[in-house]
Amino acid sequence: MAQRITIIGGGPGGYTAAFSAAKAGAEVTLVESAHMGGTCLNWGCIPTKTLKASAEALETAHRLAEFGISGAGEAVPDMPAIIARKDKVSGILRGGLEKTCSKLKVTLLRGRGEVLSACLVRVHGADGAVQEVEGDRVIIATGSSTLNIPTLPVDHERIITSDDALELQTVPKRMLVVGGGVIGCELAFIFQAFGSKVTVVEGLDRILPVPSIDADLSKLIQREMKKRGIACELARTATKAEVTETGVQVTLGPSPFVKDLPASAQKESVLEADVVLVAVGRVPNTSGLGLAEAGVETDQRGWIKADARLETSVPGIYAVGDVLGPARVMLAHVAAMEGLVAVRNCLGAFEDMDYSKVPAAVFTSPEVATVGLTEALAREQGFNVTCPQSNFRELGKAQAMGELAGLFKLVVDADSGKLLGAHLAGAHVSDIIAEPTLAMQLGATAKDLARTIHAHPTLAEGIFETAHLL
């Protein structure tokens, strides 16, 4: 008899697990309460990149004279059309997922899943109907949602979430982005391109204060923000917000998260914006799952605990994706790989999830992409490192494209020559990062990269040129 696997959540972790399990011969039921594709496809990766494509098209239109093109009229953003295109793209991809479910004979149930045990899931339909699904294993892949904070009460009009930002029908004249992480920075560049006067408030002392992002990339992105007129309020937090007739007045105070505050961050100030975008974190989608009753352990913030094999405290119940929280890596492609590992373990394997070589991309302008250790983390771990760097503008392809901002930085073990990390900024580096990721996966050295012929003229030559600096 085929293994029966019930998966709760149809995002990248859930649908990847479902398709993999079905291809392996399992009998699969996939439970989804909202749209197929989860946050990534409906409120995250794909919608933001679709808006970014529109922003880039607008910026190119404004630069046509630079490329020798004349006679074009003034280009302006049509937000209803931009949002409609975004919805169309997501709709096409959702439809593709549903067709794949049908093709692979994955049973798709619409409703909220409740875990009773590893062998039983109760599905609560929107119409009140209740259905029980028996099985052998359960994979929880319910994801996360935007975090709301008391000092910035979201009303979805003046004080909005990143989800709301993807539905704006007009471009705010003044946008205040609270949170200078990945989501905040991506949306800051997008709405600046559309015409907003943007200010980013970040509680730490640098933009993109993510441990996996090298400090040199943060400095570059902050410089590019300044060039574009995006203001940065670093080491500051929003302590109060008041909606007025003309917008929102936000009080900024010194951050409690930075020890040595710069003088510019020590005084209280008030900024006014038409829209305040809150992008300060995520919370787990675990409400109504029945985790406590089923015996599935969570941490104090509600994130599910799982072992290296992605199995929870209850044998036969696994968890993947964002619902595991920041103790793992909250990225769509990581969720997908976790889904594959969880399925293999459901089917009898004994495999640990490896997080040591995870590429990540930030779709700012220019893009940022990283894999492996930063220079700071490598030194903290005791490596004797050398970190060759080269500038994006040195590439012939970058000059031809008119995309000059960016850098290539490799983190190399000086003793063995082994590649420990790669940190890139520039056009299309989200694609280029695959090369150093594969190199690290194969245990390659920087010399191996330098001895690999790269096509010319390409942007990927930046890896080749940087490796030759050793």
Which residues fall within 8 angstroms of residue 418, CB to CB, at 6 or more apart? 412, 443, 444, 445, 446
Tell me the two tokens of residue 92: 């096409």
Pure H helices in 302-401: 332-346, 375-380, 396-401
Dihedral, 296, 297, 300, 302 alpha carbons, nearest 10: -30
Which residues fall within 8 angstroms of residue 256, CB to CB, at 6 or more apart? 203, 237
Q: How many CA atoms lie within 13 A of 41 on its CB side?
A: 24
Helices and strands in the chain: count of H runs, count of E runs:
15, 24
CA distance 264 to 160: 27
Tell me the two tokens of residue 317: 């119940």
State how beta strands 159-161 and 275-278 pair: parallel
CA distances from 358 to 367, 373, 407 (A): 17, 10, 20
One of 333, 428, 456, 468 is an active-site residue; which one?
Answer: 456
Q: Annotated catalytic, 456?
A: yes
Active site residues: 456
